[in-house]
Amino acid sequence: MSHQLSDLLLTPAEMAAVDAAAAASGIDSFGLMERAGAAAAAAALRLHAGALRFVVLCGPGNNGGDAYVAARHLQEGGAPVVLFHIGDPSRLKGDAARAKAACALRGEPLHLYSPESGDVVIDGLFGAGLSREVPADVRAVIERVAEAGLPVLAIDLPSGLDGRTGRVLGAAFRASDTITFMTRKPGHLLMPGRELCGELEVFDIGIPARIIRAEASGVIAENRPDAWKGVLPAEQLETHKYKRGHLVVFSGEADKTGAARMSAISGLKAGAGLVTIAAPDAAIAANAAHLTAVMLHAIDDAADLEDWLTDKRLQTFVLGPGFGIGARARAFVSALAERRLVLDADGISSFKDDPQQLFDLFGGEPRLVLTPHEGEFSRLFPDIGGDEALGKVDKALAAARGANAAIVYKGADTVIAAPDGRALINTNAPAWLATAGSGDVLAGIIGGLLAQGLPAFEAAAAGVWLHGEAAHRAGKGLTAEDLAAHVLPL
């Protein structure tokens, strides 16, 4: 994947490597710290012009160094500032020690901080460099600040958050604003980190893009069109409907047909040339009553499906929405092993007792897309789902490798992962997208993109993004029908 610098997400380890490479190239590392601290002070003054007192919390590393610089700039600008530190400031090293020496403020130990009305907290304790639970004195201050309802400006990342996974390590500040430098980290976008960061600003302190690109694996990025627009099919003026792909969506029984229609209509809106609902004979009438542009085909059992599949134009399928859990779903999926398939909802749950049976069907070039929410993910990947050491991106990547499938690990911070190690974090979904039937629409959109020839990972990523865009267009209070109606093709 080729990314804009603004799309790249660097893990804390990669950012540390960037800092080291910048210093090795002759860039003045203290100059970088000076710019970072000055930017934090400027943000504090801009965002909190009415502060009665800036309370700067300084940690034992370079994040603390940034905070000492910020405190110095605030004091020199005439703002009221007090400073608290953890550990022994005389043991600071390198640039952080230099920043402390240049700051005339006398600090006090962190545990002595008592919040006052009118305080604005500038958090420079740990940033993204934390990998273990916060110490007890830090937890106590986090709780006191939260109780007092004080605004927090976090430098780099609210202290207590893991910069790679976005998880809380014991306790974390809830920042109203976060200022970070050069690029964002996965922890800025993954939940609950995304919420705890508040408004996020990325400030350029002057590290050349070539150094950042050299250290960035490029494996994890934000899900934006740049990540997948390079594989979109060129628009052909005299295209044939089969050229734009034929999508088949399987319907459930007569009393469970709505979910499949949601998927089918969404696939059509996403640009598939033709969409057919394959339904049990007894469910044909229920579906026909609600459809115009979508075709119908009767399929009762796996033998019917095998006969129909002799038509090689049928290459792309969605199975799961409203389908029912059990042996019939497993038999259908087995028949589809050589085709492209979005497996959702009941389709996923049908393999919970033997996930490997599913994974073994889809070797070779990835052509399976799995769309589990949290519960379905844990059922399909019990070993990965239960591993507390892994964050959401690492879980999705492990699942994608194990299943040889594109994984859409759903949630407020949906992660899309590929077997080859690429991962995207989605950010454009509004809160009101969490509504009944929303997943059926997503499965259909992805199916529609697969039918048009997008590879599995790109179809999944583009589908998740289109789903979020449709939700914004539909607005608050949307139903799944509204959402489907607002789907637009790429």
* pLDDT tens over the chain, length 490 residues: 455 677 789 999 999 999 999 999 999 999 999 999 999 999 999 999 999 999 999 999 999 999 999 999 999 999 999 999 999 999 999 999 999 999 999 999 999 999 999 999 999 999 998 889 999 999 999 999 999 999 999 999 999 999 999 999 999 999 999 999 999 999 999 999 999 999 999 999 999 999 999 998 878 999 999 999 988 876 644 455 556 799 999 999 999 999 999 999 999 999 999 999 999 999 999 999 998 889 999 999 999 999 999 999 999 999 999 999 999 999 999 999 999 999 999 999 999 999 999 999 999 999 999 999 999 999 999 999 999 889 999 999 999 999 999 999 999 999 999 999 999 999 999 999 999 999 999 999 999 999 999 999 999 999 999 999 999 999 999 999 999 999 999 8
| CATH class of residue range 5-217 | alpha beta
Q: Flag whether 354 is marked binding.
A: no
Q: Flag whether 131 is marked binding.
A: yes
C-alpha span between 490 and 488 (Å, rounded) = 7
Q: If DSSP codes are grouped into helix, strand and coil, which group holds residue 170?
A: coil
Q: Flag whether 373 is marked binding.
A: yes
- How does DSSP assign 327-392, residue by residue? HHHHHHHHHTTTSEEEE-THHHHTTTT-HHHHHHH--SS--EEE---HHHHHHHSHHHHT-TT--H
Q: Give the pLDDT score at 1.
A: 44
C-alpha span between 22 and 206 (Å, rounded) = 10
Q: Flag whether 226 is marked binding.
A: no
Superfamily of domain 225-232+240-486: Ribokinase (3.40.1190.20)
State CA 442 to chain mean position distance. Answer: 16
The single-letter code of the amino acid at 485 is A
Q: Flag whether 129 is marked binding.
A: yes
Q: Give the pLDDT score at 318.
A: 98
Q: Show me where the domains of the chain are located.
A: 5-217, 225-232+240-486
Q: Give the pLDDT score at 453.
A: 95
Q: Flag whether 413 is marked binding.
A: yes
Q: Flag whether 63 is marked binding.
A: yes
Please give the C-alpha separations between residue 283 and each of 173, 252, 289, in angstroms, as whole numbers: 53, 8, 10
Q: Encode burial over 392-422: b for 16+ CB neighbours within 10 A, e otherwise.
A: bbbbbbbbbbbbbbbbbbbbbbbbbbbbeeb
C-alpha span between 482 and 477 (Å, rounded) = 9
Q: Give the pLDDT score at 6.
A: 72
Q: Give the pLDDT score at 244.
A: 77
C-alpha span between 252 and 327 (Å, rounded) = 14
C-alpha span between 172 and 175 (Å, rounded) = 9
The single residue listed with the structure tokens 């020199």 is: 76
Q: Flag whether 132 is marked binding.
A: yes
Peptide bond into 225 cis (omega under 30): no
Q: Flag whether 420 is marked binding.
A: no
Q: What is the CA radius of gyration of the chain?
A: 26
Q: Give the pLDDT score at 5.
A: 75
Q: If DSSP codes are grouped into helix, strand and coil, which group holds residue 440?
A: helix
Q: Flag whether 438 is marked binding.
A: no
Please give the C-alpha separations between residue 404 and each of 333, 361, 377, 396, 407, in angstroms, as whole numbers: 15, 10, 15, 12, 9
Q: Flag whether 311 is marked binding.
A: no
Q: Flag whether 310 is marked binding.
A: no
